[in-house]
């Protein structure tokens, strides 16, 4: 198994040529495509369209994880499972019974993930870790690319890594994942990184070169 998972955030890709972006990122050695879904209510923005998500899930040669930044995600588990998502992330604050949603995701035969906003404490959601394959830590407030890293999430990462053996989840990071943070946090045990404008997109360099460098950190 690879020592780290590098997951391009497809919200940052060039949508004028999505197929080409997908192929280039696969060829570059990406491990997983990260797909953001937003409803304009749980977060103040709108994410990728269903047609784009359906295309990626159908034709990508690597897994697609779908990050549901929406209210009442339980209503859409079947939709994204049917599209072919490999992992579904939900925010515990987005509905009254998140454990039911995580169980429904598992019942559909796919991996379940918990996404933690910067202000969400580990203790408040710890019972849900029994149902989580992945815990995705947001190091920016969700909804927009290009934000500054919120330093106090480092303590949350330490807490999650300490509890990892007990629950068996993998720790992932989303938001301002710079090469320096990937290097430092990867050594501490963070498994996966969502790659946006801080490390991958808009650099004027080939994706393959960048991902090889990140892989070597």
pLDDT in tens, 157-177: 999 999 999 999 999 999 999
Domain range for 151 is 5-216
pLDDT of residue 93: 96
Q: What angle do CA 119, 168, 61 make, to 5 degrees?
A: 90
pLDDT band at 143 (very low <50, low <70, confident <90, very high): low
For the whole model, what pTM was predicted? 0.96
**Could you give the number of structural domains in the chain?**
1
Q: 1 pLDDT band (50/70/90 cuts)?
A: low
**Annotated active-site residue in 65, 82, 154, 174:** 174
Tens digits of per-residue pLDDT, 51-101?
A: 999 999 999 999 999 999 999 999 999 999 999 999 999 999 999 999 999
Residues 154-188 as b/e (b if ≥16 CB within 10 A, e otherwise) read: bebbeebbebbeeeebbbbbbbbbebebbeebbee
**CATH number of the domain encompassing residue 155:** 3.20.20.70
Phi and psi at 7, nearest 5°, equal: -125, 95
Q: What's the rounded mean pLDDT across residues 113-125?
A: 96
Q: Confirm whether 151 is a catalytic residue.
A: no
Task: Say what the pLDDT of residue 142 is.
Answer: 80
Tell me what the mean pLDDT of segment 113-127 comes to.
96
Specify the pLDDT at position 141: 87
Given the residues 14, 36, 65, 107, select the one marked as catalytic. 36
**Residue 47 confidence class, pLDDT cut points 50, 70, 90:** confident
- 39 is a catalytic site residue: no
Q: In whole angstroms, what is the distance from residue 156 CA to residue 173 CA? A: 11
């Amino acid at each position: 198994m690879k020592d780290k998972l590098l997951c391009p955030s497809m919200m940052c890709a060039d949508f004028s040529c999505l197929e080409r972006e997908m192929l280039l990122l696969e060829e570059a050695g990406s491990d997983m495509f990260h797909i953001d879904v937003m409803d304009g209510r749980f977060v103040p923005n709108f994410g990728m369209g269903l047609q784009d998500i359906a295309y990626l899930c159908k034709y990508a040669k690597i897994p697609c994880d779908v990050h549901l930044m929406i209210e009442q995600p339980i209503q859409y588990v079947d939709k994204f499972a049917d599209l072919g998502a490999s992992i579904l992330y939900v925010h515990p604050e987005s509905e009254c019974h998140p454990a039911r949603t995580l169980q429904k995701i598992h019942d559909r035969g796919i991996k379940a993930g918990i996404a933690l906003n910067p202000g969400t404490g580990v203790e408040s959601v710890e019972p849900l870790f029994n149902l989580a394959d992945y815990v995705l830590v947001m190091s920016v407030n969700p909804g927009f690319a290009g934000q500054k890293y919120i330093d106090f999430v480092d303590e949350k990462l330490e807490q999650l890594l300490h509890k990892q053996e007990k629950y068996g989840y993998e720790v992932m990071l989303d938001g301002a994942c710079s090469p320096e943070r990937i290097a430092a946090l990867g050594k501490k045990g963070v498994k996966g990184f969502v790659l946006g404008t801080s490390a991958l997109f808009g650099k004027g360099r080939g994706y393959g070169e960048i991902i090889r460098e990140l892989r070597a950190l």
